Amino acid sequence: GAGVSQSPSNKVTEKGKDVELRCDPISGHTALYWYRQRLGQGLEFLIYFQGNSAPDKSGLPSDRFSAERTGESVSTLTIQRTQQEDSAVYLCASSSPLDTTYNEQFFGPGTRLTVL
């Protein structure tokens, strides 16, 4: 079946521009996560959605970052007025909390963002 997909796979933008990253989770997965991973570093939690609501936004680095999810499906992560320090791979993952065994996360391939 289809896995988690993300678009675009690569994005190069100029400092100060806004970017929008998209994530399509696995169908039926109610939990959706966004992470940031800088080169050679671990995963930095940004935000997660349970359905369409975001119980935990504590990882968003600044008010330039926002995310939304509609229809318990697609999510978009928006970064306004991008800065060079925003350059990273942005990973999306989904999981099904209804799974009675464990809540394995399935990751998308990521969006590599480069801010010039």
Interacting residues with other proteins (CB under 8 A): 31, 33, 35, 41-43, 45, 48, 50, 55-56, 91, 95, 97, 102-110
CB of 73 to other proteins, least distance (A): 17
Q: Give the up-direction half-sphere exposure of residue 6: CA atoms within 13 A in the CB hemisphere.
A: 25
CB of 103 to other proteins, least distance (A): 6
Residue among 74 and 106 whose Cβ is closer to other proteins: 106
Cβ-based nearer residue to other proteins, 34 or 65: 34
CB of 30 to other proteins, least distance (A): 9
CB neighbour list of residue 102: distance below 8 Å, 6 or more residues apart: none
Residue 45 CA to its chain's centroid (Å): 9
Cis peptide before 8 (omega within 30 of 0): yes
User: Whole-angstrom Cα distance, residue 22 to residue 112?
Assistant: 12
Closer to other proteins by Cβ: residue 66 or 105:
105
